[in-house]
Amino acid sequence: MTATDDPRIDPLTDYDIFDRDFILDPFPVMDEIRESQCPIAHSDRWGGSWMPTRYNDIVAIAQEYETFTSQQILVTPPPPQQAEGAYANVAAPPISSDPPEHHWHRRLILPFFAPQAVAKYEQGTRDLCNSLIDAFIDNGRGDAAADYAQQIPVRVIATMLGVPTDLSDTFTGWVRGVLEAGLTDPKVRMESRMNILNYFRAQIDDRKANPRENDLITTLLNAEVDGQKVPEEYVHGVCNLMLVAGVDTTWSAIGASLWHLAQHPEHRAQLRENPDLWPMAIEELLRAYAPVTMARLVGHDTEFEGCPMKAGDRVLMSFPAANRDPRQFDRPDEVILDREHNRHVAFGAGIHRCAGSNLARLELRVALQTWLDRIPEFELEDPSAVTWAGGQVRGPRQCQVRFPVG
């Protein structure tokens, strides 16, 4: 028996990460693979991939960067024409980098994302959340995903990059073109990539002509490593990464958390009665609704946990699957806001741990706190009408809720 509705699909040998049922609820399929004789499944679909499902295997792959390289990190292969043309050398450092370059690629951007550095975005994020709620609170209903969650991270990232927040819808469209539609449509993926890179090429030219104070792009353009200015392709790539990685991901975590809270009044009450719980509660929501799956490319033929992996094979690191492994987490499918031990890997593990994790947490906490302050009681208008995106980043895209007015 398989966990999908389609009797033809055997998850162990033919899983489909873009299957509608899998996107809606991937956990039964992940559980079936994880508890089988073959907890690392393989599928030929979408360019072919391995999909480990146990926590220890996924963490080991994340930590073994020499075998599991970051030459490609999206869950489907890049369009062939990406390797050509003006931007062929622009990647998404440090997420797309391997050691030894990875070290400086990452070290230059980490200070922008340390907890003490991102704290300055808290008040602006809270003001933004309040203004978004103002727009629909008198209606007694609103879309927690499209009208709220989707609107927050793109504006925070735009602020951080020093680009106009009123282009948010455009940026969001480009990011979805890379991480949603583009994963199964190479033309959309290439067009979206070119839009992003053309935009930031112009931003870099602008900063070179008009350097700005306290500006991330200007700072990176002036950065030196071993006495040499860093290549512009590096700065270009970092801009690409910050937009692509900073929007869909956090928006999905905010949306999934609101989807959960809409259905769990006891958790809303728990947070209201015990505000000290917030930091741990955020980690538990991240564990249960980890949005991101990253890929690795096998660097050389190897056998991993009995699986014969060939150089160039794609391996999917499903952090959502790792975070639901009962070998690591008691009652993994339950949200336990004060969970005592929670080594979750929603942000990955090893040298590629999400560089923006402290910013993502801040946005998630402020978005949820502000929502619950303003809209303490709410419920899904129609649970079956909630739509989800999946593949690389899983989260609700339409999530209509209703609530008492006044």
Partner 1 sequence: MKVRVDDDACHGHQMCAIAAPEVFGSDDYGNAVVLIDGDLPPELEAKARRAEGNCPERAIIIED
Nearer to partner 1, 48 or 115 (CB): 115
Q: Tell whether residue 341 is a contact of partner 1 (CB under 8 A).
A: yes
CB of 358 vs partner 1, minimal distance in Å: 6
CB of 68 vs partner 1, minimal distance in Å: 15
Q: Tell whether residue 311 is a contact of partner 1 (CB under 8 A).
A: no
CB of 130 vs partner 1, minimal distance in Å: 25
Which tokens in the block code for residue 231?
């290549």
CB of 107 vs partner 1, minimal distance in Å: 7
CB of 117 vs partner 1, minimal distance in Å: 8
Q: Tell whether residue 347 is a contact of partner 1 (CB under 8 A).
A: yes
* Contact with partner 1 (CB under 8 A) among 124, 162, 326, 350: 350
Where would I find the H helices in 264-405?
A: 265-273, 278-288, 319-322, 357-374
Q: Tell whether residue 155 is a contact of partner 1 (CB under 8 A).
A: no
Q: Tell whether residue 151 is a contact of partner 1 (CB under 8 A).
A: no
Site string for partner 1, 351-370 (x = CB under 8 A): x-x---xx------------
| CA nearest to 348, candidates 286, 274, 300 | 286
CA distance 391 to 20: 10
Nearer to partner 1, 229 or 343 (CB): 343
Q: Tell whether residue 344 is a contact of partner 1 (CB under 8 A).
A: yes
Nearer to partner 1, 134 or 330 (CB): 330
Q: How far does CA 71 lie from the centroid of its chain?
A: 18
| CA nearest to 297, candidates 314, 280, 317 | 314
| CA nearest to 284, candidates 253, 259, 262, 263 | 253
Compute CA distances 355 → 59, 99, 359, whole Å.
17, 16, 9
Site string for partner 1, 167-186 (x = CB under 8 A): --------------------
CB count within 10 Å of CB 23 equals: 16
* Contact with partner 1 (CB under 8 A) among 161, 254, 317, 345: 345
CA distance 75 to 214: 35
* Contact with partner 1 (CB under 8 A) among 2, 342, 369, 400: 342
Part of the chain binding partner 1 (CB under 8 A), chosen from 164-172, 252-260, 265-273, 337-345:
337-345
CA distance 391 to 393: 6
Q: Tell whether residue 193 is a contact of partner 1 (CB under 8 A).
A: no
Nearer to partner 1, 92 or 346 (CB): 346
CB of 343 vs partner 1, minimal distance in Å: 5
CB of 90 vs partner 1, minimal distance in Å: 25
CB of 342 vs partner 1, minimal distance in Å: 5
* Contact with partner 1 (CB under 8 A) among 227, 279, 306, 406: 279
Nearer to partner 1, 176 or 344 (CB): 344
CB 184 within 8 A of CB 232: no
CA distance 203 to 232: 12
Part of the chain binding partner 1 (CB under 8 A), chosen from 37-45, 82-90, 344-352, 394-402:
344-352
- Report the DSSP beta bridge partners of residue 389: 395
CB 284 within 8 A of CB 388: no
Compute CA distances 406 → 131, 268, 272, 363, whole Å.
17, 19, 19, 26
Q: Which of residues 82-141 bind partner 1 (CB under 8 A)?
A: 107, 110-111, 113-116
CB 319 within 8 A of CB 328: no
Alpha-carbon torsion, ordered 59, 62, 63, 65, to 10 deg: 160
CB 183 within 8 A of CB 18: yes
b/e string for 45-62 if b means 16 or more Cβ within 10 A? ebeebbbbbbbebbbbbb
Which tokens in the block code for residue 291?
């949005």
Site string for partner 1, 30-69 (x = CB under 8 A): -----------------------------x----------
CB of 384 vs partner 1, minimal distance in Å: 35
# of chain residues touching partner 1 (CB under 8 A): 24
CB 369 within 8 A of CB 130: no
SS3 242: helix
Please report, as ranges, the residues that interact with partner 1 according to CB under 8 A: 59, 107, 110-111, 113-116, 279-280, 283, 340-345, 347, 349-351, 353, 357-358
